[in-house]
């Protein structure tokens, strides 16, 4: 229904809540059966009997219900403890299999306002729907403000397309860059949604095939060779992850000075300039009063 041709269900702000309520009610019914089988020993007990127990000060039923439901309610302490235990079990399993400890923790942002492919998908999806004019403005309007406003509205209305696009890109990234560049062999991936905009993003813990440097680091640390231990991590960061404080220079003679995220990789004329522009446009900023750099200094000063 979310993929219905005219987009009426995807665009309706209430429909998704209806679906969530529908699904949750079925989950609750299923969990209720499980709860009764696990915790209710008296098969003939009724609701009136439970009410009478509570009235007499017997809260054993309430305690059992709280214990059972603590892991079922999303966002509760019990629910997060269960998620943590799942991750702990995953790490313990791979340690037992001698795959090594987690090497990388990575966060992936959707950056839905940048991708031209996503823009094209929105345009095709909104043709012959009530959002067709918005889609036309997003692509062809002469005013950048109106183009951006139209894109913002379409992204908010068609979040399912954004999510499908992001998950597809994640699968593609893992099969290409993740395995060939970062040498990822095992990973624990979790999709989440931002509280403010509600758009999708992902967190991942990964085990790579080149994690021997971790054992070398702890070996140097145990020998109190702090400088050498630090160099182990520094070499890995620079040589494998290409992390450096050096800013690549932009070749002004190359006709490729736009932000790389505004186009596709196939349109790139200079790989070197593409990298330099990527660093300049996405990794650099001018410090202002909202900069965390100054906030940290201020907090440190107060302490």
Q: How far apart are CA 18 and CA 9, in angstroms?
A: 11
CB 216 within 8 A of CB 184: no
Interval 278-289 mean pLDDT: 77
Cβ atoms of 282 and 275 closer than 8 Å: no
Question: Could you read off the pLDDT of 159-169 as tens digits, one per residue?
Answer: 888 999 999 99
* Numbers of helices and strands, H then E, in the chain: 14, 3
- DSSP state for residue 187 in the 8-state scheme: E
What's the pLDDT tens digit per position in 56-115?
888 888 888 877 777 777 777 888 888 899 999 999 999 999 998 999 999 998 888 888
pTM of the model: 0.74
Residue 297: exposure state from Cβ atoms within 10 A (0-12, 13-18, ≥19) = exposed
Identify the pLDDT of residue 35: 81
User: What are the two backbone dihedrals, phi and then psi, of residue 27, each rounded to the nearest 5 degrees?
Assistant: -65, -45
Query: Mind spelling out the 3-state secondary structure of 218-283?
Result: HHHHHCCCHHHHHHHHHHHHHHCCCCCCCCCCCCCCCCCCCCHHHCCHHHCCCHHHHHHHHHHHHC
């Amino acid at each position: 229904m979310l993929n219905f041709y005219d987009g009426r269900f995807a665009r309706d702000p209430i429909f998704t809540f209806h679906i969530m309520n529908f699904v949750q009610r079925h989950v609750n019914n299923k969990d209720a059966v499980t709860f009764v089988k696990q915790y209710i020993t008296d098969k003939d007990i009724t609701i009136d009997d439970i009410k009478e127990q509570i009235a007499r000060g017997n809260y054993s039923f309430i305690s059992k219900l709280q214990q059972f439901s603590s892991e079922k309610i999303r966002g509760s302490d019990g629910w997060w403890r269960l998620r943590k235990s799942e991750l702990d079990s995953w790490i313990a399993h791979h340690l037992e299999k001698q795959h090594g400890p987690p090497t990388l923790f990575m966060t992936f942002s959707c950056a839905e306002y940048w991708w031209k492919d996503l823009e094209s998908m929105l345009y095709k999806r909104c043709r012959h729907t009530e959002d067709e004019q918005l889609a036309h403005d997003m692509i062809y309007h002469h005013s950048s403000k109106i183009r951006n406003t139209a894109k913002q509205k379409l992204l908010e209305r068609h979040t399912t397309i954004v999510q499908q696009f992001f998950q597809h890109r994640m699968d593609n990234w893992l099969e290409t860059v993740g395995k060939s560049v970062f040498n990822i062999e095992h990973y624990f991936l979790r999709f989440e949604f931002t509280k403010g905009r509600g758009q999708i993003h992902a967190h991942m813990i990964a085990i790579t095939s080149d994690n021997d440097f971790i054992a070398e680091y702890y070996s140097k640390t145990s020998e109190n060779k702090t400088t050498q231990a630090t160099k182990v991590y520094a070499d890995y960061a620079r040589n494998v992850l290409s992390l450096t404080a050096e800013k690549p220079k932009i070749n002004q003679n190359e006709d490729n000075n736009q932000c790389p995220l505004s186009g596709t990789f196939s349109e790139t004329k200079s790989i070197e300039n593409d990298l330099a522009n990527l660093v300049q446009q996405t990794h650099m900023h001018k410090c202002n009063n909202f900069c965390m750099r100054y906030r940290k200094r201020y907090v440190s000063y107060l302490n």
